[in-house]
Amino acid sequence: MHMADALLHPAVGGVMWAAGAAAIGVSAKKSAAGDTSGSRLPLMAVSGAFVFAAQMINFTIPGTGSSGHIGGGILLAALLGPFPALLAIASVLLIQCLFFADGGLIAYGANLFNMGVIPCLLAYPLVFKPIMSKGWTAWRLRAASVAAVAAGLLAGAFGVVLETQVSGITRLPFGAFVLLMMPIHLAIGIVEGIITAAVLSYVYAARPEILERAAAVGSTVTPAGARSLRPVLLTLAAAALVTGALLSQFASSFPDGLEWSIERTAGSAELEADAPAFRRAQSVQDATAFMPDYGFGENSERSEALGTASAGVVGAVITAALAVGAGAAVRAVKRKRAA
Amino acid sequence: MSAGAALSLETLSMGGSPLHRVHPGVKMVCAFALIVLTLSFGRTDVAAMLPFLLYPSVAIGITDIPVGLLARRMAAALPFAAFAGISNLLSDHAVMFRLGGLAVTGGMAACAGILLRTLLSVSYALVLIAATPFPEITAQMRRIHIPGIFIQTLEMTYRYIGTLTDETRGLTNAYRLRAGADDAGVRLARAGSLVGGLFLRTADRAERILAAMRCRGFEANGASVGTRPAHASDWIFLAAVCGSGLLLRIVDVPALIASVIAGMG
């Protein structure tokens, strides 16, 4: 469910970064509270690496021929408490983004929100904890795990759809996108929920104090259950609104920002150049721009456009060749000097 | 995904190329700026985006990053991007222009645009991490006041991924040897004992790590690695990359080249 940078508009990425940063800030504060010695830190950190490593284990799903692996958010929230779990997930996502191209730098905030904030700070306290509040039984644990993991995954998948749609990169209709994403993530959520329940049952049977301590971390950090989430949600909402309001100037389209700058510099939003080369460039650009100003340009001079379109494609190929060739030339020169 | 790939990137980041010597904060700002500029193109502005290939191309040439490594990272990023790209092919049939007998639709252009954006944004991030040691990146994060507990979690997670990956491999190998299972996977019924056992080992390891850290005088809010100040050359690098990026964002280079070709024709 990792989103790539290519699917996000920078403004949407910025808003989600603000929401993610606020969540990390609140979680860091809550996690550090009452842990001045840093004794919780190693378990948080190694748990992040644990999630990363445990995702390598693929479990066969009977009767389907497919496989699944652990999720992470709900499992870590139950093992560490919601706020330390969010920090561990945030670390894993950043490492996946930087070292494994799983997600992108601009998409990091969106991925953190979809795969960290939603399961740890929403699904865990609102679904998992209320079900488990009547005491630990095997069936209750299974029900809580499946319900919380599935709810977290469905909400996260819906987040992916919303963020992609708002970015305007894909033209897939909203309804079709939702119908594609929801059923598959419901199925994944049920399998991940079953695995999560099995792991939690095993840990509870072997070392109950780990889960009891995590539940206590959650309850001391969030003394009144869902009600104590209010500051977190308010912070997230405020950060998203403020950033959204600021970035909405650019969200309509980034070139507006550029045009604004150019207008301030040159006195006009459109730079006017009258040299023959610029006039020829303009005619080629008019013909080859796939969607000038995000509109389907009806070209009235089709025959002329065909020739200029061909030139445009050749121009694009030459540009790409020059760009890639520059790197090859640098490498060749380096090797020649080293030889 | 393998921990070995992270280790090979870590080895690359210890290199001594001119790009390695640039201030880490400057490289981080440049990477972010280039990603934002690339993503700011319209969904079908494929040709205008092509000049941005120059940055990863030259950086890969300077730093000797294996192209195969980039290709493998691209493969990891591709599935979701390809899904979105193909969905455009299916949903946007409006003809943009014709090239000979080929009708180029908005869906085709958008699909190509998504794949090119993915290639570029993955390359920028890869070059950043291959030319900057991870501790220098986290030191810059401290400078901008990102919470210390998050950075420490990040550093330790990164450090222990390799160890726990090896431990996981050992666990699954032991399972296969005992169960005689093939490579298809582990039975769902064994999830609890296998992953739960891994977590318990992880928790024990965390306690040993904490004891070792305390023996070495660890404090929760202790001192961190210092960073060198940016030199004039770093500022010139920043201005050159961001300035040229802005210029390439404003000026449509392929269209200019095409105009020269059209003028000659």
pLDDT(B169) > 70: yes
A92: tokens are 């894993």
Higher pLDDT, B225 or A155: A155
Query: Residues 56..95 of A with a Cβ closer than 8 Å to B: which?
Result: 56-62, 67, 70, 79, 87-88, 90-92, 94-95
State how far the Cα of A310 lies from the Cα of B86, in Å rounded to an integer.
Answer: 25
Contact A330/B5, CB-based, under 8 Å?
Answer: no
pLDDT(A280) > 70: no
State how far the Cα of A152 lies from the Cα of A156, in Å rounded to an integer.
Answer: 6
Q: How many residues does chain B have?
A: 265
Query: Residues 243..282 of A with a Cβ closer than 8 Å to B: which?
Result: 253-255, 258, 262, 276-278, 280-282
* Burial of B144 (C-beta count, 10 Å sphere; 0-12/13-18/19+): exposed
Q: Say if CB A154 and CB A189 are below 8 A apart.
A: yes
Give whichever of A276-290, A311-325, B78-92 has the largest mean pLDDT.
Answer: B78-92
Supply the pLDDT for residue A224: 37
A68: tokens are 């699944």
Confidence band of B234 (pLDDT split at 50, 70, 90): very high
Confidence band of B247 (pLDDT split at 50, 70, 90): very high
Nearest CA to A314 out of B112, B245, B50 is that of B50
pLDDT(A256) > 70: no
Mean pLDDT of A163-169: 85
Give this complex's ipTM. Answer: 0.82
Confidence band of B221 (pLDDT split at 50, 70, 90): low
Q: Which of A39, A311, A323 lies nearest to residue B258, judging by beta carbons? A: A311
User: What is the distance in angstroms between the Cα of B129 and the nearest Cα belonging to chain A?
Assistant: 7
Q: What is the identity of the amino acid at B185?
A: G
Q: How many residues does chain A have?
A: 339
DSSP string, B65-127: --HHHHHHHHHHHHHHHHHHHHHHHHH---EEEEETTEEEEHHHHHHHHHHHHHHHHHHHHHH
Higher pLDDT, A23 or B74: A23
Supply the pLDDT for residue A308: 55
Give whichever of A22-26, B67-71, B170-174 has the largest mean pLDDT.
Answer: A22-26
The secondary structure of chain B in percent helix, strand, coil, rounded to multiples of 5, reads: 75, 5, 20
* Weakest-pLDDT range from A3-12, A37-46, A136-145: A37-46
Q: How many CB pairs under 8 A join A and B?
A: 422
Higher pLDDT, B252 or A272: B252
Q: Could you state, in order of their start, the residue ranges of all structural domains in chain B?
A: 3-132+231-264, 146-215
Q: Could you state, in order of their start, the residue ranges of all structural domains in chain A?
A: 5-251, 273-338
State how far the Cα of A88 lies from the Cα of A76, in Å rounded to an integer.
Answer: 8
Task: Give B175's strand partners.
Answer: none
State how far the Cα of B37 lies from the Cα of A195, in Å rounded to an integer.
Answer: 42
Mean pLDDT of B1-30: 80
- Residue with token string 């504060």: A29
State how far the Cα of A230 lies from the Cα of A217, in Å rounded to an integer.
Answer: 18
A190 touches chain B (CB under 8 A): no
Chain B environment of A235 (Cβ under 8 Å): none
Contact A315/B187, CB-based, under 8 Å?
Answer: no
Inter-CA distances, A207 with A129, A203, A260, B196, B197, Å: 19, 6, 62, 10, 11
Higher pLDDT, A13 or B4: A13
* Burial of A87 (C-beta count, 10 Å sphere; 0-12/13-18/19+): buried
Segments in A61-125 forming alpha helices (H): 73-80, 82-100, 108-112
pLDDT(A251) > 60: no
Q: Say if CB B105 and CB B96 are below 8 A apart.
A: yes
Nearest-CA residue of chain A relative to B130? A99
Percent of chain A with pLDDT over 90: 18
At B186 the three-state DSSP class reads strand
Task: Read off the pTM.
Answer: 0.76
A259: tokens are 């045009």
Supply the pLDDT for residue B184: 61
At A68 the three-state DSSP class reads strand
User: What is the distance in angstroms between the Cα of A105 and the nearest Cα belonging to chain B?
Assistant: 7
Q: Say if CB B42 and CB B109 are below 8 A apart.
A: no
- Name, in order, each residue with C-beta under 8 angstroms of A64's C-beta and a sequence gap of 6 or more: none
Q: Assess if CATH 3.40.1160.10 describes domain A5-251.
A: no
State how far the Cα of B217 lies from the Cα of B21, in Å rounded to an integer.
Answer: 32
Query: Residues 216..235 of A with a Cβ closer than 8 Å to B: which?
Result: none
Supply the pLDDT for residue A220: 42
- Name, in order, each residue with C-beta under 8 angstroms of B97's C-beta and a sequence gap of 6 or more: A287, A288, A290, A299, A305, A306, A309, B104
pLDDT(A79) > 50: yes
Q: What is the identity of the amino acid at B145?
A: H
